[in-house]
């Protein structure tokens, strides 16, 4: 045990539980909707437990090739669990929640097991 560590101090905060990457193409209507929809979902169900990176493949076209994107907007859930990809404007909230492993009927923020 480190003699300089306070045993009663709260633990260091861990990194975000959810790591999400959203690939968009500029300010198109679909991209704008996707950004708004995923931000709403994250704030409602994952507040304080997520990291959301939004990348514009219009400005960085190599990203689309590197990630093997077949369409945009595309949301990639990097963690927790298996990597999941969703293509579209993310307006089907039930589908997005299921891909993220969130069961809204069991209460906000409850994960599927």
pLDDT tens digits for 44-92?
Answer: 999 999 999 999 999 999 988 999 998 999 999 999 999 999 999 999 9
- For domain 18-103, the question of CATH label 3.40.30.10 is answered with yes
Round to whole Å and give the CA distance between 26 and 102: 29
Q: How confident is the model at residue 105 (pLDDT cuts 50, 70, 90)?
A: confident
Q: What residue spans define the domains of the chain? A: 18-103
């Amino acid at each position: 045990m480190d003699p300089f560590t306070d045993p009663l101090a709260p633990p260091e905060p861990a990194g975000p539980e959810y790591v999400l990457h959203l690939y968009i193409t500029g300010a198109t209507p679909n991209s704008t909707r996707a950004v708004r929809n995923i931000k709403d979902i994250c704030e409602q169900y994952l507040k304080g437990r997520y990291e959301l990176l939004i990348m514009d493949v219009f400005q960085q076209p190599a990203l689309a090739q590197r990630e093997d994107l077949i369409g945009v907007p595309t949301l990639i859930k990097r963690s927790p669990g298996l990597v999941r990809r969703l293509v579209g404007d993310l307006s089907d909230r039930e589908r997005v929640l299921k891909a993220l492993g969130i069961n809204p009927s069991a209460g906000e923020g409850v994960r599927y097991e």
